[in-house]
Amino acid sequence: MIIISTIHEMQAYVQVARKSGASIGLVPTMGYLHTGHGALMERAKNDNQRVIVSIFVNPLQFGPNEDLDRYPRDLPGDERFCSERGVDVVFAPTVTEMYGADGALTRIHVATLGEHLCGAASPGHFDGVATVVAKLFHIIQPERAYFGQKDFQQLSIVRRMVGDLSIPVDIVAVDTVREADGLAKSSRNAYLTPEQRKLAPRLREALLRLQAAWSRGERDVPAMLAEERAQLEAVPEFRVDYLTCVDSDRLQPVNTPAPGQSVVFALAVFLGKTRLIDNLIVQ
Ligand code: PAF
């Protein structure tokens, strides 16, 4: 496995790989890798001749009061993780390498899709995500790029950006990987205290109850959400940022679903300072 930290070297590698006819799968990450990322790598390995994992904690997607400095980092551990999974290249540039000494002035803004859910709490977050992902696509020119379904809003925005800008890359969605008790794998789980960790599976349980209610034919979405919100808020350690139901295309809130409409129940909840997200798509 090769470790590359400059854009120039990364582009040179890609040129050689392309000349040899090898297909490239990209797994973009911010590091502190876990088995959720491992599932993306495994899928990329199946589909492509070369797998490149980018590890870059992207400052553009953190707000001024968010956890950029606190974000967990472990590059040597991540490199081992990638090497054990047969990754060909880890691309781990510094912030100056990615954005220059005076920072980048360009941003990519995908309208509408980024305004609700996680975008409401962190304006500019998805501009930062879209900008770095577009930049990685330009540098690496992968045939395919792999994203987790847990961040379904990010996935929708990246898909839309790729379509709108005709970027020739297939976006592959991979199912959320979970702990045995149902908690979605996330680098942020590392922040949870043992007490918070015990409570965290209740987020998934709330989504499963919504799914069950939906399967029983309940369609009074505001009442369903209010009931689950009250249950979550009864736990003093939880602060619900959002618990909502949106349509799966434009991510707009749904109160009265149309017959046959596919929707996503999604939540973001703070446990102390740690914000966890999860979602469940119902057809
Ligand atoms: O999902 C993430 O880890 C990040 O948002 C991504 C896609 C790597 C962009 O920085």
pLDDT of 280 strictly over 90 = yes
Distance 219 CA to ligand 1 centre (A): 34
Please tell me which residue, 10 or 69, carries the higher pLDDT value.
10
Long-range contacts (CB closer than 8 Å, 24 or more residues apart) made by 101-110: 104/60, 104/131, 106/131, 107/60, 107/131, 108/134, 108/161, 110/157, 110/160, 110/161, 110/164
Q: What's the pLDDT at 66? A: 78
> How open is the CA angle 173-176-177, to the nearest 5 degrees?
130
Angle of helix 35-47 versus helix 75-84 axis, rounded to 10: 40
Determine the pLDDT at residue 70: 87
The answer for residues whose C-beta is within 8 angstroms of residue 244's C-beta and 6 or more apart is 116, 117, 225, 253, 265, 266, 267
Atom of ligand 1 nearest to the CA of 129: 9
| Domains of the chain in sequence order | 2-174 (3.40.50.620), 187-282 (3.30.1300.10)
Ligand 1 contact via 29 beta carbon (within 6 Å)? yes
Question: Are 123 and 63 within 8 A, CB to CB?
Answer: yes
Q: What is the pLDDT of residues 203-231, one digit of tens each?
A: 999 999 999 999 999 999 999 999 999 99
| Ligand 1 centroid distance, CA of 31 (Å) | 9
Which band of pLDDT confidence, cut at 50, 70 and 90, is reported for residue 65? confident
- When pLDDT is averaged across residues 92-99 and rounded to a whole number, the result is 98
CB 103 within 8 Å of CB 165: no
Would the CB of 133 count as within 6 Å of ligand 1? yes
pLDDT digits (tens, 9 = 90+) for 12-59: 999 999 999 999 999 999 999 999 999 999 999 999 999 999 999 999
* Rounded Cα distance, 177 and 238, in Å: 22
CA of 257 to the centre of ligand 1 (A): 31
Given the residues 37, 109, 116, 138, the one annotated as active site: 37
Q: What is residue 67's predicted lDDT score, i.e. its pLDDT?
A: 76
The CB of 140 under 6 Å from ligand 1? The reply is: no
| 34 carries an active-site annotation | no
Ligand 1 site, residue 151, Cβ cutoff 6 A: yes
Q: What is the pLDDT of residues 98-144, one digit of tens each?
A: 999 999 999 999 999 998 899 998 899 999 999 999 999 999 999 99
